[in-house]
Amino acid sequence: MSKVIHEADALNQVKFTSDGAADGSNPLLPVVVQDVTTGEVLMQAYANREALERTLATRQATYYSRSRQELWVKGQTSGHTQQVQELWVDCDGDSLLYRVVQTGPACHTGEVSCFYRPLLTADTPPEPKLGEVLERVYGTITDRLRTLPEGSYVARLHAGGLDRVLKKITEEAGEVLLAAKNNDPAELATETADLLFHTFFALAEVGVTPADISRVLSEREGKTGLKGPKEVG
């Protein structure tokens, strides 16, 4: 559970400087939003004092719309909510960082992050991190399960019930074994990806999250995960 400095003390550490109204009567702070699990920057918005107070009180990311001149809660209409886990203020006290658990895509376009249009990229893009990719896959699955869009593979598989999903896991596990037995690296990577996808599908259907798995693995770090055979007599 996230901890917070006393709310009054937290509010005293920030300086609302940007004008949210033509007469300067509604000072704002820019807010950068980051996925607490993957570290990916998701979006940037603004908050006035009331929006920040509501965020601190509810842990639901709340912002101020400069165009509509009103508060808005992320995901209130789309379902793509942001549960605030950590809230940081910069050294000058004039900008904020929300570290959130994001449900579904953060961008209204359907992209995971609002920052999806590159202006400058590295000559050699970094290899995607497995954990970040799996988090996005899980997020996509849960979003599809919530909306059940027409033509979606997730929606079709869900309609067949949990047994159908579990059958796919069995099938994909067999393909992984065969690819490994045949010493086929490319096929093994492909079949393992399929196995992980359907395993995460089952997790989503049952309500287990990647964080639940992470906690179990973290607790096992440095310990043996295997137990020897029981001694007889």
Half-sphere exposure of residue 37, counting CA atoms within 13 Å on the CB side? Answer: 22
Residue pLDDT, tens place only, 37-65: 888 899 999 999 999 999 999 999 999 99
Residue 119: inside a domain? no
Same domain membership, residue 134 and residue 204: yes
Same domain membership, residue 98 and residue 41: yes
Task: Tell me which amino acid residue 108 is.
Answer: H
Sign of the torsion formed by the C-alpha atoms of 98, 103, 107 and 111: positive
SS3 70: strand
Same domain membership, residue 172 and residue 93: no
Nearest alpha-carbon partner for 78 in 61, 97, 58 = 61
Which is more confident, 26 or 141?
Answer: 141
Both tokens of 42, joined, read 């998701």
Mean pLDDT throughout 3-21?
64
Residue 76, domain CATH: 3.10.20.810
CA gap 183, 26 in Å, rounded: 64
Residue pLDDT, tens place only, 159-201: 999 999 999 999 999 999 999 999 999 999 999 999 999 999 9
Nearest alpha-carbon partner for 175 in 141, 158, 198, 155 = 198
Q: How confident is the model at residue 1 (pLDDT cuts 50, 70, 90)?
A: very low
Residue 143 has pLDDT above 70, yes or no: yes
Mean pLDDT throughout 77-85?
93
Residue 150: inside a domain? yes
Residue 122: inside a domain? no
Which is more confident, 138 or 223?
Answer: 138
Same domain membership, residue 91 and residue 158: no
Instruction: Report which DSSP code applies to 124.
Output: S
Q: How confident is the model at residue 232 (pLDDT cuts 50, 70, 90)?
A: low
Residue 118: inside a domain? no
CA–CA distance from 111 to each of 23, 43, 114, 146 (Å)?
35, 11, 7, 17
Residue 93: inside a domain? yes
Residue 72 has pLDDT above 90, yes or no: yes
What does DSSP say about strands 41-47 and 27-35: parallel, antiparallel, or unpaired?
A: antiparallel
Percent of the chain whose pLDDT exceeds 70 = 87
CA–CA distance from 124 to each of 113, 118, 120, 121 (Å)?
21, 14, 12, 8
Instruction: Report which DSSP code applies to 225.
Output: -
Residue 211, domain CATH: 1.10.287.1080
Residue 233: inside a domain? no
Residue pLDDT, tens place only, 94-142: 899 999 999 889 999 989 899 999 898 878 777 888 888 898 899 889 9
Nearest alpha-carbon partner for 48 in 83, 18, 6, 8 = 18
Same domain membership, residue 213 and residue 149: yes
Please tell me whether the overall predicted TM-score, pTM, comes out greater than 0.75 for this model: no
Residue 191: inside a domain? yes
Same domain membership, residue 216 and residue 136: yes
Residue 181: inside a domain? yes
Both tokens of 47, joined, read 């908050």
Count of domains observed in the chain: 2
Same domain membership, residue 134 and residue 95: no
Q: Determine contact, residues 169/195, Cβ cutoff 8 Å.
A: yes
Start-to-end Cα distance in the chain: 47
Return the pLDDT at 124: 79
Dihedral pair phi/psi, residue 118, rounded to 5°: -75, 140
Domain of residue 72 covers 9-102
Return the pLDDT at 127: 82
